[in-house]
Amino acid sequence: MAKKVVIGMSGGVDSSVAAYLLKQEGYEVIGLFMRNWDAMINNDIEGNPTLSENICPQEQDYNDALAVCEHIGIPLHRVDFIKEYWDNVFSYFLRELEKGRTPNPDLMCNKYIKFDSFIKKARELGADYIATGHYANTKNNRLYRAKDLNKDQSYFLAQLSPNQLKDVLFPLGDLTKPEVREIAEKAGIPTAKKKDSTGICFIGERNYQKFVSNYLKPNPGDIINVDTGEKIGTHQGLMNYTIGQRKQVGIGGYKDKHFVVGKNVEKNILYVAFGEDPETLYSDECILEDVNFISPRVPTFCTAKFRYRGQDFEVSIEEIEDGLLRVKYPEKVASVTPGQACVLYLGEECIGSGIIKEVRKNGEKLWYL
């Protein structure tokens, strides 16, 4: 009897090709479409429901997923994880913004939805394996980079546990994106030419600041030149800015290039620095919380990514008190940002990750972060 695989179908070309390949390999394949966000109704900052603009075209995505499943001859189930997503992903997103940090909701979506709630539902459907269209590889419950390093998504999977990676299949792990497109076109898959989705699903194509203001009250404050201490403008709420940002900072009359280099949440101050490559963007150490190791190997030296598609930096790691991890990088790194993930690698293996709690330089916590 063929092994049963339940695959997450997003309506995009990647999950479509992943399902097609599994069917070609002889598995009994079942598609599962997850509805994680109510695209029609939101709550404003007072908790009142408001009719939203087309935040996330989930109905079109569902129709695309259905067309693909019909084309390759597999059933498609639909399940709502709206409450789970709100409780574990969106509420986390808001809490982090309130702290002045820059969260990455995709990591929490994978941890709590796609590899938790989804797995539980897949088991109810009798799954022997679960699968997704992620570009990654797994072996013996351990996580590895994908062949296509430009599309590799191990960064977003780095908060998963070995148990969550058990019985997981990543059919696209050894393919490049052009190869996936080619397979889709040759197989006549309806989503072959569909554009990749970008951004955060629950925001979609809407203006970020406008969307966030529905949930967090705007709180204008001073913009300060970190080098001179001079007030040079007014920001519209610290949640709208991230470290390293150089667009839409809100400073009028300044032609010189400038970057966001820090925030003071207590004083509601946004700090900027001027120049092509300001020294105040750089740090040499950070402290991680919510540390998660996938691999049993915990080395002293490895490499780290501080942002998705960022370069790998050589680092040393040291476990310290209260489950925190100290990460030092002798080659100073720009724009290391509290709230973002620091993902650790040993060669091609993703050994784990943590969430950046604080950033340091020359042994001192950066006072403006």
CATH of the domain at 233: 2.30.30.280
Residue 31 to residue 19: CA distance in whole angstroms: 8
Total count of domains within the chain = 3
Question: What's the token pair of residue 269?
Answer: 């101050």
| Catalytic residue annotation | 109, 201
pLDDT of residue 286: 98
Same domain, residue pair 252 and 108: no
Q: Identify whether 247 is part of a domain.
A: yes
Same domain, residue pair 56 and 154: yes
Asked if residue 306 lies in contact with residue 356, where contact means CB atoms within 8 angstroms, the answer is yes
| Alpha carbon separation from 159 to 130, 194, 202 (Å, rounded) | 18, 29, 21
Same domain, residue pair 11 and 79: yes
Q: Identify whether 201 is part of a domain.
A: no
Same domain, residue pair 30 and 171: yes
* Side chain identity, residue 39: A
In which domain, by residue range, is 149 found?
Answer: 4-186
pLDDT of residue 369: 76
Q: Which helix (H) or strand (E) holds 330?
A: strand 325-334
CATH number (domain holding residue 139) = 3.40.50.620
Last residue of a domain, one of 240, 274, 308: 274
pLDDT of residue 45: 45
Q: Identify whether 198 is part of a domain.
A: no
Same domain, residue pair 30 and 172: yes
| Alpha carbon separation from 366 to 74, 117, 256, 273, 322 (Å, rounded) | 54, 38, 24, 14, 21
pLDDT of residue 187: 98
Same domain, residue pair 173 and 69: yes
Same domain, residue pair 125 and 171: yes
Q: Identify whether 45 is part of a domain.
A: yes
Residue 251 to residue 270: CA distance in whole angstroms: 11
Residue 333 to residue 347: CA distance in whole angstroms: 20
Q: Which residue has the tokens 């330089």?
A: 361
**For residue 321, what is the DSSP state?**
G
Same domain, residue pair 237 and 133: no
pLDDT of residue 57: 63
Render pLDDT for 156-206 as a digit per residue (tens, 0 to 9): 999 999 999 999 999 999 999 999 999 999 999 999 999 987 767 677 666
Last residue of a domain, one of 186, 207, 238: 186
Q: Identify whether 211 is part of a domain.
A: no
Same domain, residue pair 293 and 257: no
CATH number (domain holding residue 355) = 2.40.30.10
Same domain, residue pair 264 and 291: no
Q: Residue 153: which residues within 8 A CB-CB, separation 6 or more?
A: 134, 135, 136, 146
Residue 123 to residue 287: CA distance in whole angstroms: 37
Q: Identify whether 248 is part of a domain.
A: yes
Pairing of strands 49-51, 137-139: unpaired
- DSSP per-residue string spanning 116-182: IIHHHHHHHTT-SEEE---S-EEETTEEE--S-TTT--GGGGTT--TTTTTTEE-TTTT--HHHHHH
Q: Identify whether 207 is part of a domain.
A: no
Same domain, residue pair 171 and 318: no
Same domain, residue pair 289 and 172: no
What angle (nearest 5°) sits at the alpha carbon of residue 2, between those of residues 20 and 153? 40
Task: Specify the long-range contacts of residues 149-154, CB closer than 8 Å, at least 24 apart.
Answer: 150/177, 150/309, 151/176, 151/177, 154/343, 154/345, 154/350
Render pLDDT for 240-249 as a digit per residue (tens, 0 to 9): 999 999 876 7
* Per-run averaged pLDDT (10 residues), the chain, 369 residues: 95 98 98 85 49 58 96 98 96 96 96 97 98 98 97 98 97 98 98 85 72 91 94 93 85 80 95 93 97 95 96 96 94 96 98 97 87
Residue 96 to residue 90: CA distance in whole angstroms: 10
Q: Identify whether 351 is part of a domain.
A: yes
Residue 63 to residue 53: CA distance in whole angstroms: 19
Asked if residue 96 lies in contact with residue 103, where contact means CB atoms within 8 angstroms, the answer is yes
